[in-house]
Structure 1
Amino acid sequence: MGHARRRRSWGKLRKLPSKRWQASYVGPDLARHLAPDTFDDEDAARGWLARERSLIENEQWTPPAERAKFKRTSGYTFEEYANEWLPKRRTRTGEKLKPRTLSDYRRYLDDDLLPEFGALPLRQVTVAAVQEWFDGMDPETPTRRAHAYQLLRAICTTAHEEGLMTSNPCTISGGGRTNRAKRIRPATPAEFLAIANNMPERLRMAVLLGGWCALRYGEIAELRRKDVDTKNGVVRIARGVTWPMTRDEATGKLTGSAVVSTPKSEAGDREVHVPPHLVAELAEHVKKHADPGRNGLLFPNSTGGHIHPRTFGWRFHQARKEAGRPDLRFHDLRHSSAVLAAMSGATIKELMSRLGHSTPAAAMRYQHAAEGRDRAIAAAMSKFAQNE
């Protein structure tokens, strides 16, 4: 009588005479691969098959025997593993990371993780070591600490799934979350206008689009004539420009150049209606200041090409100071615009569409602004009684 075997849609399970379970599958190389170890129960064996299939689907697969051999012979330091992990990382939908995201990950890895964990074998990255590192991070930079922790957790999660760590040492409750370091005081329409009026004429509309249409700087800097429909008062957001930083291996210095790419998510590809009072001014800007041709940039640098955020930022810094809002960052205009939209009665779904958010969580931050309308709503309802 043969031993129990289990065939599934992918992979094969076998119960051994010892009552332990063996798992195997045919890999991308068309060879059958056995799990390096047997398993206590069927669920554990199925879990291993699921992790192997995930590696294949995400193009991160190598034969499990090779991984086991490397683990035994080299110890696999955190730096070795992280440097292999980063270029293979994919989004939840299986796409490669955008250049800006890859650049940010590289920066957090080089500046925050490798100095602490780089030389350690993976199995020596313990819960205690992670907690000590986290506690030692600057509490004045909570966003950076949260992002670095998120990256560490993602790396360790994959290492654990591949059997290179006995468990994931990133167990800090809320470690990847952060509260806003400062409370943003939304700008008013009058302040939008005051800041815009203090900008050079060719950049005035950039501030107004940021304030009224909630566009990101990279989206504004990449706008072209073909993206603007002044007849219908619509701006199409189909691309953005970023300046991802890369480290020169010879000098160790960080450098960056403009990279144009599509939005991070499908939701980022959107049409945004321009408030009617701005449409004529937008048309005039396109006529006077945009580069020629359908692909002409709306806000070209005086020397050609995209305006670097540092160049624009210096102008914006002066303008906000003269307008009496030295605290306001350019990205805060986006926040201010979202608050205005919420106060105008926009639903979560409508905010998501206008801002290019793929999940409700981000858009919900602005709904608090609409709570103040409850008194006005109650007063408006009373008018019905007065008309009876």
Structure 2
Amino acid sequence: MGRPRKRQRRRFGRLRTITKHGHEYIEASYLTPLWAFSQWPNLPKRQYKVVQPEYETEAVAWLTEAEKAITLGAWTPPQLERARERREAVTFRDYAEQWVRNRRKANGDPIRETSKQKHREALRLYLYPAFGDKRLTDITAKDVQAWWDAFTPERANEEGVSLEARRRAVYATLRAIMASAAREPVDDDGNTLIKATPCTIRTSQGETRHKVVIAEIDQLQALYEAMPAWIRLTAYLAGYMGLREGECLGLQRQDIDLDTMTLHVRRAAKTEEYEDGTKKNVLGPPKSRSSVRDLTIPECVVQPLREHMEHVGNEPDALLFPAPRSGGVCAGQTLRNAFNRVVNDTPALAGMRFHDLRDTALTRLAAMGATNGELMRQAGHQTIAVASKYQHRVESHYDTVISNLDNAVTAASATNDKTTPEPAQDGDMSTQTIPDARPNDRQPDADNELAALAGVLAAMPLSERVTVLRSLPIDRRVAVVGALPATVKGETLAELFKT
């Protein structure tokens, strides 16, 4: 039996046979170049690679490549190369799943479960088929453009959503995922999974996806009468009180106090979709902290509510609108189906969604003179900018306003025809009319409201403050700006005057 072959001394690095757990391996190693420690001070003195004996040529090639890289000054630590290879091996599916699972808002709070569901649906239906098994580093702008051009919606025009709107919504998910991959470091060295996002398509908002339909009072009453008895009260809760769909379905007996005429909004029903594709209707917190609120029950809702409560369980947590079959939490889609069947048979309400009832309530309150602060409280909005969007015209109210204007102008013209004096001579004040100088009885209340609104605006970010001001009538805007504290008035005026 011959002696084991003695390895020749190498010019660079070292090869030797080692034994681990009773098995032989080939260990290749070389000294870390001295200049590398200034850039990576925690490197080991030697770099190692261990292979099985049949892969000795791979170990030799590894040493050869390392020698060449050191000579050219292009060497990087193998540890970093391995980390780079791991980063480049991440697929779109792997990253997207953990992105949805761990996504948070700007304030650090986790995104809502409903938002996760929308992202998961976009991924499952539209993005995984195209990009799921691709490495993130392999997805190019050309690939994204090809996906955009070939986009075909699974459910066209569902709930009034256009094909273009659905494509934009799905693209928004893709763009957010790739932006995170390009921006968020995955290690202490600041490395990201991709160098730049391939989502470079500039999308336009296009047409408004849905035109809000405001129901007249008689239409709202007809809607209530036509809906199934077990669920029809939601038409009034949303249409008169401004509750959201989930807030209606989350109501329990303990939330209704008919002695004090108060409705407590404490929870909301929602449908959770899990990663395995299963769904469950559950109760959770409302949309935001400001959505937790106590609302006065209007007189027009009291009697229908009393009648409905006769059919609600006696337990404090008994649901007002349990699911017809299971008796558990009712799905939002079940409510929408019942609502849509009635709306589809009512031409005047064509295209109306259940959420439009909430707009109906808040728009009518605004038309009745509710302040933005009162609208915020009723709707459970967090900012005055959101509350100020309810500018939809209620046709009957608008007609009344125009009619009143016509009547006032006609009456004023008739008065002027009867009382117009002869032109006065210079210096003769006997025939000139002196305006009524009596103070306006409501002036103090108006001043207080103006000061309160100015105070709220002063605490808002500049961009949001200006957005709200621009939504106000010009005379109202001037008055509010005049009431702003001097510390913010200057910057506000400067921003308002920008084109």
TM-score by length of 1: 0.71
Partner of 1:49 in structure 2?
none
1:118 aligns with 2:140: no
Partner of 1:336 in structure 2?
360
Q: Distance in 2 between matches of 1:308 and 1:247?
A: 19
Residues 211-243 of structure 1: CA deviation (Å, up to 9, x unaligned) = 112222211111011112223333222211111
Partner of 2:151 in structure 1?
137
1:229 aligns with 2:257: yes
Residue 334 of structure 1 aligns with an amino acid whose one-letter code is: R
Which consecutive residues of structure 1, in runs of 5 or more, have no partner in the other structure? 1-17, 25-30, 32-64, 249-253
Q: 1:268 aligns with which of 288, 291, 306?
A: 291
Q: Distance in 2 between matches of 1:68 and 1:81?
A: 20
Residues 182-232 of structure 1: CA deviation (Å, up to 9, x unaligned) = 323311111111011012333221111121122222111110111122233
1:142 touches 1:179 (CA, 8 Å); kept in 2? no
Residue 68 of structure 1 and its aligned partner are, at CA, apart by 7.4
1:166 aligns with 2:190: no
2:282 touches 2:329 (CA, 8 Å); kept in 1? no
1:194 touches 1:323 (CA, 8 Å); kept in 2? no
Q: 1:298 aligns with which of 320, 327, 339?
A: 320
1:345–1:174: structure 2 CA closer, same or farther, 3 Å change rule? farther
Q: Distance in 2 between matches of 1:170 and 1:295?
A: 48
Partner of 1:312 in structure 2?
335
2:214 touches 2:392 (CA, 8 Å); kept in 1? no
Partner of 1:351 in structure 2?
375
Residues 156-191 of structure 1: CA deviation (Å, up to 9, x unaligned) = 22211222221233344446x564323233111111
Partner of 1:91 in structure 2?
105
1:276–1:332: structure 2 CA closer, same or farther, 3 Å change rule? same
- SS at 1:102's partner residue? helix
Q: 2:245 aligns with which of 217, 223, 228?
A: 217
Residue 72 of structure 1 aligns with an amino acid whose one-letter code is: E
1:291 touches 1:300 (CA, 8 Å); kept in 2? no
Between 220-229 and 322-331, the greater mean CA deviation after superposition:
322-331
2:269 touches 2:331 (CA, 8 Å); kept in 1? no
Q: 2:306 aligns with which of 262, 283, 292?
A: 283
1:66–1:223: structure 2 CA closer, same or farther, 3 Å change rule? farther
2:114 touches 2:271 (CA, 8 Å); kept in 1? yes
1:99 touches 1:259 (CA, 8 Å); kept in 2? no
Residues 228-283 of structure 1: CA deviation (Å, up to 9, x unaligned) = 222333322221111123464xxxxx432112111232122222333222123323
TM-score by length of 2: 0.56
1:106 aligns with 2:120: yes
1:363 aligns with 2:387: yes
1:232–1:68: structure 2 CA closer, same or farther, 3 Å change rule? farther
1:69–1:85: structure 2 CA closer, same or farther, 3 Å change rule? farther
Q: Distance in 1 between matches of 2:366 and 2:231?
A: 27
Q: Distance in 2 between matches of 1:362 and 1:167?
A: 34
- SS at 2:231's partner residue? helix
Q: Distance in 2 between matches of 1:66 and 1:267?
A: 50
2:269 touches 2:330 (CA, 8 Å); kept in 1? no
1:206 aligns with 2:256: no
2:283 touches 2:329 (CA, 8 Å); kept in 1? no
Partner of 2:179 in structure 1?
157
Q: Distance in 2 between matches of 1:226 and 1:22?
A: 66
Q: Distance in 2 between matches of 1:328 and 1:66?
A: 60
1:70–1:306: structure 2 CA closer, same or farther, 3 Å change rule? same
Partner of 1:60 in structure 2?
none
Q: Distance in 2 between matches of 1:281 and 1:341?
A: 20
Between 226-235 and 104-113, the greater mean CA deviation after superposition:
226-235
1:66–1:206: structure 2 CA closer, same or farther, 3 Å change rule? farther
Residue 375 of structure 1 and its aligned partner are, at CA, apart by 5.0
Residues 70-120 of structure 1: CA deviation (Å, up to 9, x unaligned) = 442443222221122221112222222332222221111111222222233
- SS at 2:209's partner residue? coil
Q: Distance in 2 between matches of 1:272 and 1:136?
A: 49
Between 143-152 and 127-136, the greater mean CA deviation after superposition:
127-136
If you compute each CA radius of gyration, which structure gives the higher value, 1 or 2? 2
Partner of 1:251 in structure 2?
none
Partner of 1:182 in structure 2?
210
Partner of 1:72 in structure 2?
85
Aligned length: 323
Q: Distance in 2 between matches of 1:301 and 1:77?
A: 41
- SS at 2:278's partner residue? strand
2:223 touches 2:235 (CA, 8 Å); kept in 1? yes
Between 258-267 and 365-374, the greater mean CA deviation after superposition:
365-374
- SS at 2:176's partner residue? helix
Q: Distance in 1 between matches of 2:80 and 2:181?
A: 11
1:178–1:217: structure 2 CA closer, same or farther, 3 Å change rule? farther
- SS at 2:227's partner residue? coil
1:180–1:87: structure 2 CA closer, same or farther, 3 Å change rule? same
Which structure has the higher relative contact order (CA within 8 Å, separation 6+)? 1
- SS at 2:263's partner residue? strand
1:302–1:133: structure 2 CA closer, same or farther, 3 Å change rule? closer
Residue 187 of structure 1 aligns with an amino acid whose one-letter code is: A
